[in-house]
Structure 1
Amino acid sequence: PKMQCRQLLRCISRSPATSSSSCFGVTRRQVHQPGGFDTSFGFEEVEPGQKQDRVNQVFNRVSNSYDLMNDLMSAGLHRCWKRRFVASANPRPGWRVVDVAGGTGDIALGLLEWSRRLPGRAPPPVRVAPGDGSVDSFREAAERQTAAAEAEAPAGCTVSVVDPSPSMMQVGSAKASAKGSTFASSIQWLEGRAESLPLDEASSDLYTIAFGMRNCTDLPGVLREAHRVLKPYGRFACLEFCSVENPLLSILYDEYSFRVIPPMGLLVAGDWDSYEYLVESIRRFPHQTLFANMMREAGFSAVNYEVLWPGVCCIHSGYKLPSVK
């Protein structure tokens, strides 16, 4: 659009010192104040019912250029982060996995590939005492929970992808089909929201969500729903952008995010507003320590997080402890 082109030219001509407020409508104070539990669409406060509709519009618009823009915006780093995320999730043959907000299929396909490298028969199950909340004990229990009760374990895990955007899932389905029928048949594509999953209680061994949590309307509700669908000893794993702790990196990251990414979105995808929202949504997401506390409040145990290089995203992890009767 002509208006966006004029905006792009104005921003390019500005100095870095003035661009944050005059070109992007944000101040440095706003950029460094993530979080809060009010419903927001980027930096804009909205009614809870409006956010999901507007988020859906964003991803329906960017679906065809989503993978290309991810490569450009992160210089390919998002692929390294996702590989690390899949490895840390460590899905086993026979597991039932739910991948939320995973429309383009990167995580689902990665999980399938990883699980098919492992032996087809899981070790015998172990039990962890309710008072033992260490990460290692929960990891051991989770990895062995899919036991060799079934003589013939399927080759790899199965994944249910839940995403509110049909356009994004079309991209993912095409990727899965290109991988072959065995991959395509191992993934179920379900339209739905993270706050209300179309899945039974205690039906999943692993819950994953990558770069989708910040787009959800009700974070505590999403975490409670994740806890609901996981089996005892099931694992929750979330890959999401985090608050940058290094002061110098934080300044550079802000300048890059607000000065480069929206113009890049305009030039490559013809869409300034969607990528401005994506940048703003990162700044509104809770600090990693606060999100870890939210996970505990939702019922998860052995909660921890791992910050990934260069310090702009992290993996959150937690386990569902069986209820004590």
Structure 2
Amino acid sequence: MSEQSEPATVSFGYTEVTPEEKTRRVGEVFTSVARKYDIMNDAMSGGMHRLWKDRFVKRVKPQPGEQILDMAGGTGDIAFRMAARGADITVADINQDMLDVGAERAADRGSGEGEGSLVFTCQNAEAVSFASGTFDAYTIAFGIRNVTHIDRALAEAHRVLRPGGRFFCLEFSTVEWAGLKEVYDLYSDHLLPRMGQVIAGDAASYRYLVESIRKFPKMPEFERMIRAAGFVNTKVEPIMGGLVAIHSGWKI
């Protein structure tokens, strides 16, 4: 992106802030919720996030010996699933507090026979430190909507993949099922922040997370962004009427 096209403001939920301010505020959100993040995921989704992540990893099809970059992988949920299939995972996140939780979980769980390696590293998705063509796959789950410049993150994903590499993104989206949308909106607006206050002691961070979902591009628009980054054979797989979606693409 050229300097001329650098936006003066970006969305932080429903608020417009400078790009630098968004990066700082998102960091504060995840520092605040890091220790309760996995408990809140279970509470918010009724445990369904585990099924979504299982389905996501099935689509990725990690293979023994593959090098996979799990961006915004923080607490390790996706990484552990892929390492169990023998892939070597680099878990990257801009927030060190989230990475610390993931590294502690990795130490507690140990590794089974035939399991791939896990490395945790602090990285900005918009400018990762890895050489071009390093990875066989790039995954990002429930993280890309928090990136300040999504197009830059997608460009970096394309750059660090080898030819033939695959991109997979799991993200909340726009509910298209009649009835469910209205129920979900009520739940998000009223119950979820209260749960955040009770469980994590932080209603404001979870209010932002709700707003960030609402501001995220709809499925067709995000697919166009993935294609614009250079990926081909892009696909969108809605789950529960678009409550979440798996986006994928290939680098040739």
* TM-score range for the pair, normalised by the shorter chain length: over 0.9
2:21 is matched with which residue: 50, 54, 61?
Answer: 50
What does the per-residue CA deviation read over 1:107-165, in whole Å, with 9 as the maximum and x for residues that have no partner? 0001111x2xxxxxxxxxxxxxxxxxxxxxxxxxxxxxxxxxxxxxxxx2111111011
Query: What percentage of aligned pairs have identical amino acids?
Result: 46
Report the Cα distance in structure 2 between the residues aligned to 1:106 and 1:206, rounded to whole angstroms. Answer: 16
Report the Cα distance in structure 2 between the residues aligned to 1:285 and 1:247, rounded to whole angstroms. Answer: 20
Structure with greater contact order relative to length (CA < 8 Å, sep ≥ 6): 1
Equivalent positions of 1:100-115 (< 5 A) are 100-113=71-84, 115=85
Match of 1:194 in 2: 125
Q: Is the 8 A contact 2:126 2:152 kept in 1?
A: yes
Report the Cα distance in structure 2 between the residues aligned to 1:239 and 1:271, rounded to whole angstroms. Answer: 25
SS of 1:199's partner is: coil
Q: Is the 8 A contact 2:9 2:18 kept in 1?
A: no
Offset at residue 309 of structure 1 (A): 2.4
1:96 is matched with which residue: 62, 67, 77?
Answer: 67
Report the Cα distance in structure 2 between the residues aligned to 1:311 and 1:300, rounded to whole angstroms. Answer: 22
Offset at residue 185 of structure 1 (A): 7.8
Offset at residue 246 of structure 1 (A): 1.7
Q: Is the 8 A contact 2:64 2:116 kept in 1?
A: no
What does the per-residue CA deviation read over 1:284-303, in whole Å, with 9 as the maximum and x for residues that have no partner? 00001000001111100000
Structure 2: which 5+ runs fail to align? 1-7
Report the Cα distance in structure 1 between the residues aligned to 2:111 and 2:237, rounded to whole angstroms. Answer: 35
Report the Cα distance in structure 1 between the residues aligned to 2:111 and 2:194, rounded to whole angstroms. Answer: 39
Structure 1: which 5+ runs fail to align? 1-36, 116-155
Report the Cα distance in structure 2 between the residues aligned to 1:210 and 1:229, rounded to whole angstroms. Answer: 17
Amino acid at match of 1:71: D
1:270 is matched with which residue: 187, 201, 206?
Answer: 201
2:181 is matched with which residue: 246, 250, 253?
Answer: 250
**Given the alignment of the two structures, is residue 287 of structure 1 paired with residue 218 of structure 2, yes or no?**
yes
4+ runs deviating over 3 angstroms: 181-185
What does the per-residue CA deviation read over 1:166-222, in whole Å, with 9 as the maximum and x for residues that have no partner? 111111111111221569981111111100112110000000000000000001111
Report the Cα distance in structure 1 between the residues aligned to 2:63 and 2:25, rounded to whole angstroms. Answer: 36
Offset at residue 45 of structure 1 (A): 0.6
Offset at residue 314 of structure 1 (A): 0.5
SS of 2:250's partner is: strand
Match of 1:176 in 2: 106
Say if 1:319 and 1:222 are closer, same or farther in 2 by CA, change over 3 A.
same
Q: CA RMSD in A?
A: 1.7
Match of 1:129 in 2: none
Amino acid at match of 2:77: D
SS of 1:247's partner is: coil
Offset at residue 42 of structure 1 (A): 0.7
Amino acid at match of 2:248: S
Larger strand fraction of residues? 2
Report the Cα distance in structure 1 between the residues aligned to 2:82 and 2:12, rounded to whole angstroms. Answer: 30
**Given the alignment of the two structures, is residue 167 of structure 1 paired with residue 97 of structure 2, yes or no?**
yes
Match of 1:157 in 2: 87
**Given the alignment of the two structures, is residue 231 of structure 1 paired with residue 162 of structure 2, yes or no?**
yes
Larger radius of gyration: 1
Q: Is the 8 A contact 2:145 2:212 kept in 1?
A: yes
Amino acid at match of 1:300: F
Report the Cα distance in structure 1 between the residues aligned to 2:248 and 2:132, rounded to whole angstroms. Answer: 20
Match of 1:132 in 2: none
Amino acid at match of 1:196: A
Number of corresponding residues: 245
Report the Cα distance in structure 2 between the residues aligned to 1:217 and 1:101, rounded to whole angstroms. Answer: 13
What does the per-residue CA deviation read over 1:71-99, in whole Å, with 9 as the maximum and x for residues that have no partner? 00000000000000011100111110000
